[in-house]
Amino acid sequence: MRSLLLLFLATALVFSASLVDPRWAVPAYVTPGGTFNATFDGPVMVKTAELAAPGVGPIRLEVVSTSGAVATLRVPPGTPVGLYDLVINGGEVYEPKAVWVGNVTGPLRIIQLTDVHVGVELDMASVYRLIHGVLVANSGPYDVIFFTGDLADVGGQVWHYALFVRYASMATKPVFAIPGNHDHAGDDPLVNYRRFVGPPVWYRVVGPYLIIGLDSGENGFLTDGQVKLYEEVLKRYPDKVKIVLVHHPPFYLQNGYVVETYRGPQDVDRLNRDPTGRRSYYIVYTSYLQNRPAYEKFLDLTIRYKVALVMAGHVHSGNSTIVINGTYFVTTRTLGGSIDTSHGFRTYVVYPDGRVEVSRETWTYKNFAVATWGSRAAQFYIDSEFVGGVVAVDLPGNYTGVRALQGDAKLLDAKVHPMGKYARYTIAVSGRPVWLAVGDYAPAPTIKVEKITPRSPTTGDLVTINFRAEDPAAGVPFIVVNGTRVLASYLEEQPVYIYRFKYSKPVQLSAAAPGGQPLTVQIGAPTATPSPTPTQTTPQATPTATTPAPTPTPQPTTTTTPQATPPSPIASTPTATQPTATVTSPTPTATSAPPPTLQPQPASFPVEAIALIVIAIVGAVVVAALARRR
């Protein structure tokens, strides 16, 4: 009985504990034959642990020890290098891409993606720049991907993180992330961040390198506790080449390249004054002065321990390189957040001897990628000068084959995860744009009008039409309205397609998703009496699933750009409920039968009366029986 109770308690501990470290955005680094720790949020009993990856595994790990909430695990000596999922107790705890088995001895090639701001709508949804950045990283000569904060536009919005994880998980290389001030917005304890991403403060030893992730918080400064941890880690690994990730830049000067010296706290004021007198500021990022002692201590430690590189984001215009006593403080512009027209990323090479090569920023404003998938196929629409050649991508589906719908695409390799979690596809692509399908591409999309405003437009009004399009088999990469491609907007986790135009006269619009039937929408009263049934049966300039010929791909216009307005309640007053419905006037044409009218029914004998009669009869029988006994 006691052993059964112990088994029950052990099982309860396993099921109640969640993995805290490592996570997919802060993987453990371990060499073949080495050990790493898995930390949970409570006591845990680890019976088995395995590694798994597309085409590899599962690989059984040795459970060296378990103490409270920490389990020490050993990787077999012959384990191939790569990025692995961590599987505890047969899948009771599962974390994708949480263990990086490597043998890093040479240069570390880094791509920095910062300020993604998933949830932002500018000329297009920020997720398209995230997808593009991931594909650039997957196809480029990079060892690691660093996200330096503001992953979500509002940390309190769970769906912002859900979208970030959905598309960032396509990465085939180790990802390391830290939070930014927007990740704290509405979620200052970072509950959502920890749930979807990982620990906000961390460090990793990767071969000759020490990588440290810090959290500059919602207001842009370091806490005393973080600086203390920073000091402890630097003391523990003094001989490593040190790289620091932090969201707010400790030093910054827009479009500046400055070489300066720092001799101690007395230099903070000097570095905060422009030596030319032309500006009221210099290179100190003043938010750090809210905790000046911690800032001074951070700078002292950074210089004393000869940190090679401190990379930051936050300032969306970016492009700042400040060299202080040989340490590079580099700030990079936003990938997806608000800015003029110069979104981008930056790359680095850090060498084992401490040398740092900092590339110029790569501006990506007119480059984007769309990814969508369903039960039978996935689709990519890539309009980029930076994505080409061989691209690897992880997708949550076991698809077969690749079909080029525009440009050229060829499947080179496909590896299935041993647990069926996802598959890794290696594809050769060329052309711009490239539109390809992975899997059994047989689209069957539906499209409907969700909302039209204003309902009765007058000359000069800006008409906005919200469409919903779905295809459970392959997803919907875009829709085409009167020959114009419209990318989805994300006002919530589910996409909406927003088309806008200035009204001048009654117009008939044709909208379709690739491979689907067109939907005809009449805006304004038609000038002629319309026929009782829709006459628009042939899609105009609409890509189809059955024609491999090039599809019209106009550049995004204002019709693809949602304004910064709150989302409207969905499906409250649908103007079209079938793919072939037609709106012929500002008031939607009825497309379904009216609600059934309740017909009067013959009145039935009241149940209450029946109950009373039964009670009376039973009572009479009882009284009669009693009378006979007397």
> Contact 376/439 with Cβ under 8 angstroms?
yes
Q: Of the residues 392, 408, 439, which one is the last residue of a structural domain?
A: 439
Task: Mark whether 305 and 419 lie in a shared domain.
Answer: no
CB-count exposure of residue 444 (10 Å: 0-12, 13-18, 19+): middle
The count of other CB atoms within 10 Å of the CB of residue 559 is 19
Residue 460 resides in a domain: yes
CA 128, 134, 139, 142 torsion: positive or negative? positive
Residue 407 resides in a domain: yes
Q: Determine if the pTM surpasses 0.75.
A: yes
Domain containing 406 equals 368-439
Give the separation between CA 428 and CA 139, rounded to whole angstroms.
Answer: 10
Residue 277: per-residue pLDDT: 84
CB-count exposure of residue 606 (10 Å: 0-12, 13-18, 19+): exposed
Q: Which tokens hold the place of 63? A: 């459970």
Q: Of the residues 363, 392, 420, which one is the last residue of a structural domain?
A: 363
Task: Mark whether 119 and 217 lie in a shared domain.
Answer: yes
3-state helix, strand, coil in the chain (%, to 5): 20, 35, 45
Residue 132 resides in a domain: yes
Residue 481 resides in a domain: yes
Residue 410 resides in a domain: yes
Residue 611 resides in a domain: no
Task: Mark whether 381 and 452 lie in a shared domain.
Answer: no
Give the separation between CA 230 and CA 243, rounded to whole angstroms.
Answer: 12
> Contact 336/116 with Cβ under 8 angstroms?
yes
Secondary structure class of 213 (helix, strand, coil):
strand
All residues at 6 or more sequence positions from 524 whose CB lies less than 8 Å from its CB, including other chains: 457, 503, 505, 506, 507, 585, 586
End-to-end CA distance of the chain: 63
CB-side neighbour CA atoms (13 Å) of 103: 8
CB-side neighbour CA atoms (13 Å) of 196: 24
Q: Of the residues 310, 338, 363, which one is the last residue of a structural domain?
A: 363
Task: Mark whether 22 and 68 lie in a shared domain.
Answer: yes
Task: Mark whether 268 and 125 lie in a shared domain.
Answer: yes
Give the separation between CA 418 and CA 56, rounded to whole angstroms.
Answer: 7
> Contact 329/322 with Cβ under 8 angstroms?
yes
Phi, psi of 51 (to 5 degrees): -110, 145
Task: Mark whether 129 and 265 lie in a shared domain.
Answer: yes
Task: Mark whether 385 and 506 lie in a shared domain.
Answer: no
> Contact 493/162 with Cβ under 8 angstroms?
yes
Give the separation between CA 447 and CA 449, rounded to whole angstroms.
Answer: 7
Task: Mark whether 183 and 271 lie in a shared domain.
Answer: yes
Residue 57: per-residue pLDDT: 83
What CATH number is associated with residue 478? 2.60.40
Q: In the chain, how many domains are there?
A: 4
Residue 559 resides in a domain: no
Mean pLDDT (10-residue bins), the chain, 630 residues? 45 66 98 97 94 95 95 97 96 96 97 97 94 98 98 97 98 98 95 97 98 97 98 98 98 95 95 88 95 98 98 94 97 93 94 97 95 97 96 95 97 95 97 97 96 94 97 97 96 94 96 96 76 43 35 37 33 34 38 34 40 48 44
Burial string for 96-114 (b: 16+ CB within 10 Å, else e) reads bbbbbbbebeebbbbbbbb
Task: Mark whether 333 and 287 lie in a shared domain.
Answer: yes
In this structure, the strands spanning 582-583 and 519-523 are parallel
Residue 590 resides in a domain: no
Burial string for 134-173 (b: 16+ CB within 10 Å, else e) reads bbbbbbbebbbbbbbbbbbbbbebbbbbebbbbbbbbbbb
Give the separation between CA 175 and CA 143, rounded to whole angstroms.
Answer: 9
Task: Mark whether 389 and 505 lie in a shared domain.
Answer: no
CB-count exposure of residue 385 (10 Å: 0-12, 13-18, 19+): exposed
Task: Mark whether 374 and 359 lie in a shared domain.
Answer: no
How far apart, in Å, are the Cα atoms of 383 and each of 34, 336, 396?
A: 42, 16, 23
Task: Mark whether 345 and 387 lie in a shared domain.
Answer: no
DSSP state of 121: B
Comparing C-alpha atoms, which of 51, 64, 55 is closest to residue 91?
51
Comparing C-alpha atoms, which of 436, 440, 531 is closest to residue 477?
436
What CATH number is associated with residue 151? 3.60.21.10
> Contact 200/221 with Cβ under 8 angstroms?
no
Secondary structure class of 304 (helix, strand, coil):
helix
DSSP state of 569: P
pLDDT for 206-233, tens place per residue?
A: 999 999 999 999 999 999 999 999 999 9
